[in-house]
Amino acid sequence: MEQNVIMNPDGTQEYFVNMGPQHPSTHGVLRLVLTLDGEIIEKVEPHLGYIHRSIEKMCEKDNYRQIIHLTDRMDYLSAHMNNHAVCLAIENGLDVEVPERAVVIRVIMDELTRISSHTLWWGVMGMDLGAITSFLYGFRDHEHITEIFEETCGARLTMNYNVPGGVMFDLHPNFVEKTKAFIADFKKKLPEYDTLLSNNVIFLERTKGVGILTKEMAVSYGVTGPAGRASGFSCDVRKHEPYSAYPNVDFNEILYTEGDTFHRYKARIDEMWESIKIIEQLIDVIPEGDFQAKTRNVIKLPKGEFYQKVETARGELGVFIVSDGKMNPYRMKFRSPGFSNLSALDEMARGGKIADLVATMSTLDLVVPDIDR
């Protein structure tokens, strides 16, 4: 911006402030240019591209097995679900039947990833609003889950555990008992975490009635995930277009109608309870058998277009593959949930102050490499 202040002919002033790419509460390299009138926000304009790594162009030169390793760096907090989406799209194209054991393992890993992403979100949300304690508690549980992943998948963050046809290795012998111990422990801790923030007067003052998103706005802007469901938009892919083992498990879709920051927070806490329910239903009945179906080493999808939707911790991720019969896809497009969630930030933040913007952004749960790809 060459000019920081613009004088209007009627005597008012507009003042531009840059919430720059390096900022402790923008969760990554997101640049927001705010137009202010005093401290009231008039317009929020996001400038993207500070982590645009050209993943879609790279996918056109890699073969299908190599693409899976790139996708877990897009939204790295739900890395498992990104891989799951690409593998499902490839398996639908090849008409490969995934064995039962692999299906159940994938869903358990998905739900554990969702819990670890939400605990990290909870920790960072408290830190944004000034409560540094919640950061340490949130990371403690995130570490428990990454230990479980590390034993089975080999890596803590970018797991790369799914392959087209199943999963890469079989489960570690300790997996079932460690997961059960973690769930039993977490069920005692989650009410503590909830009361730590939800009954705190400062937290309630800062989040109730702030950043309201109506249902029509949510549908029009395409806001999915817990942020959209807190406004009443029923968009859970696990219920509407179920994939993998979700038709056989019993869980509720969390819907609220108020659409403010507090209810987006509540929606995520309730989603953690639902994920615990899903894991408890599946952890004891993992079927025996193969963990991977036989596929060729070099995968070639037939000509056509394939779309697969998956519910990640942030919303609906779509993987769109256009194939012309060769080893590499012709065009690969990732419909990322953060991109659409961010576009609604302008409407939600108008009329509030900068501190309200920070609270709203932390409940939208943006991961910026997911937006820029």
Partner 1 sequence: MGELETKYKKGAEFPGQVMPAGNGGNILVTKIDELINWSRANSLWPLTFATSCCAIEMMATGASKHDWSRFGTEVARASARQADLIIIAGTIVNKMAPVLKRLYDQMAEPKYVIAMGACAISGGPFYYNSYSVVKGADHVIPVDVYVPGCPPRPEALLHGIMQLQEKIKKSKPILRRGAIEKFEEGF
Partner 2 sequence: MTNEEFITIIRNWFPDVEIPEEDSQFLNVFVPKEKILEVAQKLRNDEVTKLDYMFNLTCVDWPEHFQMIYHLKSSEHGHMLVLKVKLENKENPEIETLCHLYRTAELHEREVYDLFGIKFINHPDLRRLLLEDDWIGHPLRKDYVDEINIVSL
Residue selected from 340, 360, 362, 363 as contacting partner 2 according to rule CB under 8 A:
340
Q: Is the dihedral of CA 278, 310, 365, 64 positive or negative?
A: positive
Q: In terms of DSSP H, where are the helices of the chain?
A: 55-59, 64-71, 79-94, 100-128, 133-153, 175-198, 201-207, 215-221, 225-229, 237-240, 261-282, 337-343, 345-349, 354-364, 368-372
The answer to whether residues 348 and 211 touch, using CB atoms and an 8 Å cutoff, is yes
Site pattern 184..213 for partner 1 (x: CB under 8 A): ------------------------------
Phi, psi (deg, nearest 5) at residue 104: -70, -40
- According to DSSP, the residues that pair with 16 across neighbouring strands are 35
Residue 291 in the binding site for partner 2 (CB under 8 A): no
As a whole number of angstroms, the distance between CA 331 and CA 354 comes to: 40
As a whole number of angstroms, the distance between CA 327 and CA 340 comes to: 31
The answer to whether residues 265 and 208 touch, using CB atoms and an 8 Å cutoff, is no
- Which does residue 343 touch among partner 2, partner 1, none (CB within 5 to 8 A, set by kind)? partner 2
Residue 139 in the binding site for partner 2 (CB under 8 A): no
Residue selected from 15, 16, 135, 273 as contacting partner 1 according to rule CB under 8 A:
135
Residue selected from 44, 249, 342, 357 as contacting partner 2 according to rule CB under 8 A:
342
Residue at 40: amino acid letter: I
Only one of the segments 12-20, 166-174, 216-224, 284-292 lies at the binding site for partner 2 (rule: CB under 8 A); that segment is 216-224
Q: What is the DSSP letter of 162?
A: E
Site pattern 33..72 for partner 1 (x: CB under 8 A): ----------------xxxxxx--xx--xx------xx--
User: Which positions touch partner 2 (CB under 8 A)?
Assistant: 48-49, 52, 54, 56-57, 61, 92, 217, 219-222, 233-235, 240, 304-307, 309, 316, 318, 320, 322, 330-331, 333, 335, 339-340, 342-344, 372
User: Which positions touch partner 1 (CB under 8 A)?
Assistant: 20-24, 28-29, 49-54, 57-58, 61-62, 69-70, 73, 76-77, 120, 135-136, 139-140, 142-143, 146, 156-158, 368-369
